[in-house]
Structure 1
């Protein structure tokens, strides 16, 4: 059985062909995960999609109130 984090990673990979879908799914994912999982997701997203979607990632993760303090 997949964890929620692994499921979200799978979804993001599948929608990564479309910026709008990717951003929508990432925003949903951020709302569902606990802080520890968010930290892992952020690292993974920047490693996987940082070259293509850096602006989207910066935008989505900057909306998380504790993101700047805890994840940098």
Structure 2
């Protein structure tokens, strides 16, 4: 896995105690990653945080299109 993606996962885990901080970091991550990495991040996020932050995830990944 790409080092940047692993770094982002670590950041998201560390800020997951705060909903607004989590959303801010997730938005930055989506902007900075390649489409394949975003696809992986999306499935990982729903697996890890789907119960806690489903509405945030839906909002952040709503506009993401995979070509």
- Per the normalisation by structure 2, the TM-score is 0.93
SS at match of 2:17: coil
Partner of 1:57: 57
Structure 1 stretches of 4+ moved >2 Å: none
1:31 match: 31
Shift, 1:29, TM fit: 0.1
Structure number with the bigger relative contact order (C-alpha 8 A, sep ≥ 6) is 2
In structure 2, stretches of 5+ residues that fail to align are none
Counterparts of 1:13 and 1:46 in 2: how far apart (Å)?
Answer: 13
Q: TM-score, normalised by structure 1?
A: 0.87
Partners of 2:27 and 2:8 lie apart in 1 by 11
The number of residues matched between the two structures is 66
Q: What are the Cα deviations for residues 21-42 of structure 1, in whole angstroms up to 9, with x where unaligned? A: 0000000000000011001000
